Amino acid sequence: MSDLINPYSMAIEQFERVAKLLDLPNWIIEILKKPKREIIVHVPVVMDNGEVRVFTGYRVVHNDARGPAKGGIRYHPNVNLDEVRALAMWMTWKTALVNIPFGGAKGGIKCNPKEMSDAEIERLTRRYAYAIADFIGPDVDIPAPDVYTDSRHMAWIMDTYSMLKGRPVPGVVTGKPTCVGGIPGRKEATGRGVVIVAREACRRLGIPISKATVAIQGFGNVGYHAALIAHDMGFRVVAVSDSKGGIYNPNGLNPRKVMEHKKTTGSVVGFKEAKSISNEELLELNVDILIPAAVEGVITARNADRINVKIIVEGANGPTTPEADQILYEKGIMVIPDILANAGGVIVSYFEWVQNITWTPWSLEKVRRELERILISAFNEVVKLSKEREVNLREAAYMIAINRVSEAMKARGLWP
Ligand code: GLU
């Protein structure tokens, strides 16, 4: 993300714009502009060479009026408090929009996991979990994977927390391996959700799936699964990229083969059956659907003018700045906002949590069916409101979400 873009200012700007449209009471606006709780921890870790390094970690709860706070934990060199605050706020809107009984939270550790061994990452994760243990729990705040974290990290957090409590507490985190309370279909869930809403958008615009071309920025958990599921559904995935660069083949790429290449070489770059392109070039390709699935702030006032697609599906959180949003809207590009487009992950996290707190397993078939049902209904609700109120899809999604949070806050009232 560019140094000039502060994700928290971006999140506040998006919120304030919609707060005006909704005529929210001032006290609700004042509360929602700030997170409810911010924790900063400095965690010492013994590195493999015997030296001790101290890492900074965060856990921010934005709001829990509608239920326990929910959101992932990110490991990245650029993690900082403002980024975590923005991501926590976006989680509040996301859970409210898809109407699952959670609030919003986010965590992160400033580190470069690519330069650390598995053992170092495990020690870091456990010590971070220990440091925030008093502030998380199945009915308090429930972490999950995010950028550069996955089911292994969740198993370590679940184990550390359970050790401290003296009993197994699988519901403290979601995105766990299935052998310790994880749910089938969680790993692919965000990518599957992205493709479900892309398909619904194509239906609305009358674009046949077999003719639709797709470019995906990011080949991590979200980007890879989006590519795979889109490919299997009949879309033509023509470009993908990762932090090292991108690849393009107008005749289509096979995501499974690209993943094999990435596994052996560390990147999608150099894949034989494609031409090399940069991440910037990928965003400006002439395709039907663009899926930014990496980090925030990649579509800005600087490049929005050069984006010529029909649909943008935001797999990442916060990929489009408010200025860029306006430009894309004027160009007639349909932007499916992050809080809808990537909600598949937290929706299936909710199923996992229900599975854990009721000690009742769910089948993959049930997960996929319920995921589709919730996402399609949220998608239709957003499109309907955007037409009624003549606002873009992000504003419509925010209106629905903020209204739900505000109703909960009004019902509970301000105590004391
Ligand atoms: N990190 C994911 C997100 O940004 C998933 C969060 C969760 O499952 O709690 O939506």
CB atoms within 10 A of CB 108: 28
Note down pLDDT in tens along the chain; length 416 residues.
455 689 999 999 999 999 999 999 999 999 999 999 999 999 999 999 999 999 999 999 999 999 999 999 999 999 999 999 999 999 999 999 999 999 999 999 999 999 999 999 999 999 999 999 999 999 999 999 999 999 999 999 999 999 999 999 999 999 999 999 999 999 999 999 999 999 999 999 999 999 999 999 999 999 999 999 999 999 999 999 999 999 999 999 999 999 999 999 999 999 999 999 999 999 999 999 999 999 999 999 999 999 999 999 999 999 999 999 999 999 999 999 999 999 999 999 999 999 999 999 999 999 999 999 999 999 999 999 999 999 999 999 999 999 999 999 999 999 99
Which stretches does DSSP call E strand in 342-406?
Answer: none
Cβ neighbours for 257, distance < 8 A, ≥ 6 positions apart: 271, 273
Which pair of structure tokens corresponds to residue 387? 């037409």
Catalytic: which of 36, 94, 106, 187? 106
Q: Are 42 and 56 in contact (CB under 8 A)?
A: yes
Among 106, 93, 12, 11, which Cα is nearest to 58's? Answer: 106
355: which 2 tokens?
């599975």
Q: Whose CA is nearest to atom 8 of ligand 1?
A: 346
Distance CA 273, CA 270 (A): 9
Q: What is the pLDDT of residue 317?
A: 96
Pocket test for ligand 1, best of 61, 91, 150, 356 (most atoms within 8 A of CB): 91
- pLDDT of 356: 98
What are the structural domains of the chain?
35-169 (3.40.50.10860), 189-339 (3.40.50.720)
Q: How far is CA 385 from the centre of its chain?
A: 23
Cα(7) to centroid(ligand 1), Å: 17
Q: Cβ contacts of residue 140 below 8 Å, gap of 6+?
A: 68, 69
Q: What's the CA-to-centroid distance between 321 and ligand 1, angstroms?
A: 20
Written as six digits, the tokens of 200 are 């619904």
The helix (H) or strand (E) run that includes residue 227 is: helix 221-233
Cα 144 to middle of ligand 1, angstroms: 6
pLDDT at 5: 84
Distance CA(263)–CA(342), nearest Å, equals 25
CB count within 10 Å of CB 329 equals: 17
Atom of ligand 1 nearest to the CA of 145: 1
- Phi, then psi, of 289 in degrees rounded to 5: -125, 130
Q: How far apart are CA 343 and CA 409, in angstroms?
A: 22
Residue 386 in contact with ligand 1 by CB distance below 6 A: no
Ramachandran bin of 37, using left for φ above 0, alpha for ψ from -120 to 50, beta for the remaining angles: beta
Distance CA 208, CA 231 (A): 14
Of ligand 1's listed atoms, the one at least distance from the Cα of 94 is: 10
